[in-house]
Chain A
Amino acid sequence: GAGVSQSPRYKVAKRGQDVALRCDPISGHVSLFWYQQALGQGPEFLTYFQNEAQLDKSGLPSDRFFAERPEGSVSTLKIQRTQQEDSAVYLCASSLGATSSYNEQFFGPGTRLTVL
């Protein structure tokens, strides 16, 4: 069956450009997560959606980062005025239920962003 998909898989941006990264979660999954993974490090939490509601954005590193999930399915992570330190793999994950109890998170392959 279809898993979590992300596009593009690779993105090269010049410093100062805006980028938009897309995540298609597994159909019917209520929860959606974004993580940032720097080279050689584990993934770090950015933000969490339950349906269309962004319930936790405590991990977003600056106000240049913005995420949305307007219809409770596809999500977009937008980074404005990209900086070199934004270079990383951006991972999206979805899970079936809300987080009142544990639900396995299913991860996409990630988008590798390189800012020159």
Chain B
Amino acid sequence: DAKTTQPPSMDCAEGRAANLPCNHSTISGNEYVYWYRQIHSQGPQYIIHGLKNNETNEMASLIITEDRKSSTLILPHATLRDTAVYYCIGTGGANNLFFGTGTRLTVIP
């Protein structure tokens, strides 16, 4: 499984886009990039995943660079409820998700 690197913390103003970066330079061709988030005192929640192409769903967008060595999770209009720890995970199989320490996003009113 690919090792991922994320900044430990970020702030974002409410209503603005939150852009969370992730480096995964060792990712192999068949490994997906997954994003989960964990709100305080809750279990992690799946957000989105992708392989090569950019992806968008009702929660977020995922932009993956052409060389697949990095990606950015975009929350288009951050709200206070988006305050959480965001985990970027690179893996080829879902039976062993390696979460790392993630990015603590704080949305500021």
Q: Check if A and B associate.
A: yes
B→A interface (CB under 8 Å)? 32, 34, 41-46, 49, 85, 87, 93-102
Question: Which residues of A are found within 8 Å of B41, using beta-carbon distances?
Answer: 109
Cβ contact within 8 Å between B96 and A4: no
Question: Which residues of A are found within 8 Å of B43, using beta-carbon distances?
Answer: 4, 91, 93, 107-110
Q: Contact check: which of B42, B93, B94 meets A105 at CB < 8 Å?
A: B94
Smallest CB–CB gap between B64 and chain A, Å?
15
Cβ contact within 8 Å between A91 and B95: no
Cβ contact within 8 Å between A55 and B46: no
Question: Which residues of A are found within 8 Å of B45, using beta-carbon distances?
Answer: 107
- Contact A105 to B46, CB < 8 A, known contacts A42-B87, A99-B93: yes
Cβ contact within 8 Å between B44 and A91: yes
12-62 of chain A: CB within 8 A of chain B: 31, 33, 35, 40-45, 48, 55-56, 58-59
Cβ contact within 8 Å between B96 and A45: yes
User: Closest residue to A112 on the B side, CB-wise?
Assistant: B41
Alpha-carbon distance between A61 and B95 when the two chains are bound, in angstroms: 17
Question: Which residues of B are found within 8 Å of A95, using beta-carbon distances?
Answer: 94
Question: Which residues of A are found within 8 Å of B49, using beta-carbon distances?
Answer: 102
Cβ contact within 8 Å between B94 and A99: yes
Cβ contact within 8 Å between A48 and B46: no
Interface: A65 (CB within 8 A): no
